[in-house]
Amino acid sequence: MPDLAQHRPVLADARYNGMSGSGLRLEALPEGHLLHVLGAIEPPALATELAKAGLANSSIRKAGFRQWFVAGNEPLSPTSLAALAAALAGKAFVMDQSHGRVRIGISGRSSRLLLSKGTAIDLDPAVFPEGSSAMTMVGHISVQIVRTGDDSFELTVLRSFAESLWDELRHMAASAEKEGA
């Protein structure tokens, strides 16, 4: 009997080791956990329940009306997921999306310039401050953009589009580096 399939991060190949230029860094983030939470629960109450389930280091990102993505770098145990689902019962539903989505980090002084080449979101810090998130398109690929710092962003994409998005970002990065220099 063949061995069971082993999980391999989609951007694990050597060509996805990251990219750094003078004003830009592109990196594949750990495939930890990504949960989709739907329901009438506000972020402070959700954060409390996350802490009780051992997910205090996770971040909460708005994904739509009464919808949030909960992202973190550590893999999620079935016990933690079950504890969170039980704690949210009657308030919200939780679905594990860890297997189906990939996170990519973009940082550096040219990060906004790079993203402006692929999306129409106004990423000015006055309009899109740290912690803000938006569902949008980068080229033809649907992504969630989250501002994680002054010049840093995280993009969450469906797993099957991760390599295409990476290639598109590298192409846009080369152009942004020339303009930002």
pLDDT at position 102: 93
Q: Is the pTM of this model over 0.75?
A: yes
Question: Given a cut of 70, is residue 180 above it in pLDDT?
Answer: no
Tens-place pLDDT, residues 130-139: 999 999 999 8
For residue 154, the model assigns a pLDDT of 96
Q: What is the percent of the chain with per-residue pLDDT over 90, rounded to a whole number?
A: 61
CA nearest 100: which of 169, 36, 5, 27? 36
CATH class in words for 33-96: alpha beta
Provide the pLDDT for residue 138.
94
CATH superfamily placement of domain 14-30+100-180: Probable tRNA modification gtpase trme; domain 1 (3.30.1360.120)
Among 21, 41, 39, 44, smallest CA distance to 111 is for 21
Condensed to tens digits (0 to 9), the pLDDT of residues 105-115 reads 999 998 999 99
Percent of the chain at pLDDT above 70?
87
- For the chain, the domains span 14-30+100-180, 33-96
First-to-last C-alpha distance (Å) of the chain: 56
Assign 93 a pLDDT band (cuts: 50, 70, 90): very high
